[in-house]
Chains A and B, each alone.
Chain A
Amino acid sequence: MSGTWMTTRAWLLMTPLLAVMIAVIGWPLVHTVGLSFTDAKLVGTAGTFVGIDNYVRMLSSANFQRTLVTTAWFAIVSVAAEMVLGVLAALLLNQQFRGRTALRALMILPWALPTVVNATLWRLIYNPEYGALNAALTQIGLIDGYRSWLGEPGSALTALIVADCWKNFPLVALIALAALQAVPRDITAASLVDGAGPLNRFRFVILPYLAGPLMVALVLRTIEAFKVFDIIWVMTRGGPANSTRTLSILVYQEAFSFQRAGSGASLALIVTLLVTLLALAYAALVRKTAGRTA
């Protein structure tokens, strides 16, 4: 069979997939790029060509810059907390104890819940009138009266981060737990005989085996956290006083609330570019880590 025919056949076999990808990814992307150079509204006129005006306006607006900082803060703090909690949970669930299997299954539950359910659940917990958090903190004497955790700019973002962590740390724990199972028993035993304490054992024995898988979790979670929309939309809609507004919420508001399709498209592309840069940086890190632990 000739090489030319093989190549032709490969392209023929890939054609349906390529057609679908062009239809659902390629065309909307090209259309969005085109739209971002116009002043088009969501309804009404197609808009006129404005060059890079939308980009310049968006990047220089205080709104965008504040939102970028909020998004970065949300992503960094929530992902860092998820990593620490996930690894700690995995270390705990890797020990031998009665009921371990049941606890492992239970741990996955928050991650398995739909985000909307998780967000609603945490709204109930944070409720300023009958929320469980207020009740618990009042009863143990940490606060004097009920507070509106999601209604105050000072606490809303932290409250969202807690809710996001609760949902997503099981994913990190699951990945870390799988990696822990791969740590050879002999190496752990050797480190015990060599006199390594728990911290040194973690650093020299466990971490080299965790680093690669954790890096994958870090990439996935950072990108997701940077694009976060649903949990914030259900819990605060970006408020109060835009204190929980992230880039995805800003894109939504620009394109759909204010119906400015052109500038909304430019903003969406800026977010896409930022996430792509993050993904590329992490991909390079993953390659480096894989090379080091090979």
Chain B
Amino acid sequence: MSALEIIGVRKTYGEVETLKGIDIALLSGEFLVLLGSSGCGKSTLLNIIAGLAEASGGDVRIGKRSVLGVHPKDRDIAMVFQSYALYPNLSVRRNIGFGLEMRKVPAAERDRAVREVAKLLQIENLLDRKPSQLSGGQRQRVAIGRALVRKPQVFLFDEPLSNLDAKLRMEMRTELKRLHQMLKTTMVYVTHDQIEAMTLATRIAVMRDGRIEQLGTPEEIYDRPATLYVATFVGAPPMNLVDVAVDGGALAFGELVAPVPRLWEDAVREGQRLVLGIRPEALHFGGRGDHLIAAKVDVVELTGPELVVSASVGTQRLTACLPPRTRVEVGQVVELSFDADAMHLFDADSGRRIG
């Protein structure tokens, strides 16, 4: 059963259209991540779901019921904000129980629910503190607790980890994943961080300029990006993109001439301008792949688990993620190879995936 349906949602501010018709149907228990850069409309969409902004067109259904015009408190949702949004003068206990207090839930029942959530989030010892006496990570746990305690149909998260440092962000990410696996609730999560999206989501909607560029599982998004934008937005370092042309049934790129894989034979035509995509981690050092390219090493960066090598082939640049102990020198001409099935092909004009 669909827990959340977004049907043709549009949003305009005067002349500017920030959402251009969004359609998503979310099954109960799904974890949807809205992923995109600043200004793509992801937070606007979340606010429309929450009822904090009005849609200019379309419909939002939560549990089959249209919630357009319904007050946020009556939508059966809970929301976690980037800035935690805790009430500064209330204790952690009252912050978590605030939604229940406003709904006039009896004090004993409220207290029991707060304790239960505090135990789940391991913040039982903080219940009598004020938000100003908490660290960033503790504040975010309280904010999550405030959402969990109400047991709503849909949880909304607006970049909840953005204000945390890198280490804490990773810990909280795992914590959120654990919570989702345990509670199996429907969650919509906004972020611009592709790692958060890939690790947390059961489905990702990559958004750009008020549209959904691609909606799919993390594997689909990563393995079969629908557009050049998705290909470059997801993956770090981003996918290598090189301009190629179809010449005599082969893809010509520098000295490399690779036969058009059989999969794409019918989809491309002679002389067509294409963009060939190869993920940095699909490039191997030496000649063990199907295709070989000679590239001159420009920069070598050791990140710990891998060696990121930036190299140039003519005027085009390539990035390769190699094993950390690979012996590569700046200025050296190396052979990089890749397998035919690691190739992604996009139409240069439309930016859409071929095949």
Contact = CB atoms under 8 A, between A and B. Distances in A.
B85 A294 contact: no
Interface residues of B, number: 26
B72 A193 contact: yes
Interface stretch (B74-82, B208-216, B237-245): B74-82
B107 interface: no
A197 B150 CA distance: 17
Nearest to A192: B72
B52 A293 contact: no
A193 B132 CA distance: 22
B98 A208 contact: no
A192 B85 CA distance: 12
B102 A193 contact: no
Contacts of B99: 193-195
A195 B81 CA distance: 16
Contact of B85 (A189, A195, A204, A208): A189
Contacts of B331: none
A91 interface: no
A294 B132 contact: yes
B73 A190 contact: no
A200 B98 CA distance: 11
A193 B49 CA distance: 11
B102 A194 contact: yes
Contacts of B73: 192-196
A205 to B, nearest CB: 7
Contacts of B47: 189
B88 A189 contact: no
Interface string A273-294: 0000000000000000000111
A195 B70 CA distance: 12
Interface of A: 184, 186-187, 189-197, 200, 204-205, 208, 292-294
20 contacts: A184-B85, A186-B82, A187-B86, A187-B87, A189-B50, A190-B81, A190-B87, A191-B87, A192-B73, A193-B51, A193-B78, A193-B79, A194-B98, A194-B99, A195-B99, A196-B102, A204-B90, A204-B98, A208-B87, A293-B89
